[in-house]
Amino acid sequence: MVLRHKGRGWLLIMAAVIGAQFIAAWPAGAGSMVTLRQSDLEKVFMNMLPTGSRTKSYLPGIERRLSHFRARPAVVKVLSGPLTYRLLSKSGNDTGLRQEMEVAIMAADRKEVRVSMSADVELWGDVVCAARNLSRNTILRAADLDTMRRNITMLGPDVITDPAQAAGLQLKTTMRPGSVFFKRLLKRPMIVKRGDMVTIVVHSGALVVRAAGRIDMAGALGDMVMVKNLMSRKKIYARIVNAHEVEAVY
């Protein structure tokens, strides 16, 4: 090609051509860049974590918290605008503890940035604790119970989360203030013991018969126990209604 134009006019033409090429190479609708820092990447990490029964969703008010979070790269720069996230790989125990994953972050320009992230995932929730020193065989009252927010990641499914689940039950062991209650540490209190005198109630249609009896074994409310009928001298099984009355079962 023969160039016929020289001087300042030619320079202006060349500048216009180069400028047009630069604009064509820049993504359509491109805007400013946005920086994703640790707090932003932590939110991405949390949103990509699994949910379900293995994360103690059977307990009310569960909250997940991160500790020892690490991202590689630590800072990500992407085009501003809507972002999409895709989980590429994941390892770890769904019940909490150490979690690792690789996530692809994609902006409007369709360019992916891969980020490797890891953290310890702790599960926090409200649990019932001892409000004071409690001795063995104490029958729990509302004043003995307190509710606290605790790390429950390593606690079993029998942890007590509602004071109503513990009130009225009897301790199998001593407890110090702040100790967490578990169902395995509690039992129904024995309301009758061997030798106690009770009234045996027998229902036969509309007829109700009562007789004096003596308990032959200890039991809690609702338990079936052996009772001796002091009138017939026979032993029968009866259900404990309260500390003074049992209902005969035939």
CATH value at residue 166: 3.90.1210.10
93 lies in a domain? yes
- Residues 37 and 110 occupy one common structural domain: yes
- Residues 110 and 165 occupy one common structural domain: no
- Residues 244 and 176 occupy one common structural domain: no
End-of-domain residue from the set 134, 160, 187 = 187
Phi–psi pair at 209, nearest 5 degrees: -115, 135
Into how many domains does the chain fold? 3
Q: Which residues contact 28 (CB under 8 A, 6 or more apart)?
A: none
9 lies in a domain? no
| Domain with 147 in it | 125-187
- Residues 40 and 104 occupy one common structural domain: yes
pTM of the model: 0.63
- Residues 54 and 116 occupy one common structural domain: yes
Judge contact between 208 and 214, C-beta under 8 A. Answer: no
Among 18-22, 76-80, 124-128, 217-221, which stretch is predicted with the lowest mean pLDDT? 18-22
27 lies in a domain? no
235 lies in a domain? yes
22 lies in a domain? no
End-of-domain residue from the set 167, 187, 207 = 187
- Residues 94 and 150 occupy one common structural domain: no
Q: Which residues contact 37 (CB under 8 A, 6 or more apart)?
A: 74, 75
159 lies in a domain? yes
62-114: per-residue pLDDT in tens? 888 999 999 999 999 999 889 999 999 988 765 558 899 999 999 988 889 99
Highest mean pLDDT among 108-112, 154-158, 192-196, 246-250: 192-196
12 lies in a domain? no
Judge contact between 235 and 226, C-beta under 8 A. Answer: yes
- Residues 82 and 45 occupy one common structural domain: yes
Location of structure tokens 């009758």: 192
- Residues 117 and 50 occupy one common structural domain: yes
- Residues 106 and 180 occupy one common structural domain: no
- Residues 108 and 143 occupy one common structural domain: no
Looking at the chain, the whole-number percentage of residues with pLDDT higher than 90 is 65
CATH number of 214's domain: 2.30.30.760
Which runs of E-coded beta strand occur in the chain?
A: 33-36, 63-72, 76-79, 84-92, 97-106, 112-130, 145-151, 170-171, 186-187, 190-192, 197-204, 207-215, 219-220, 224-229, 235-242, 245-248
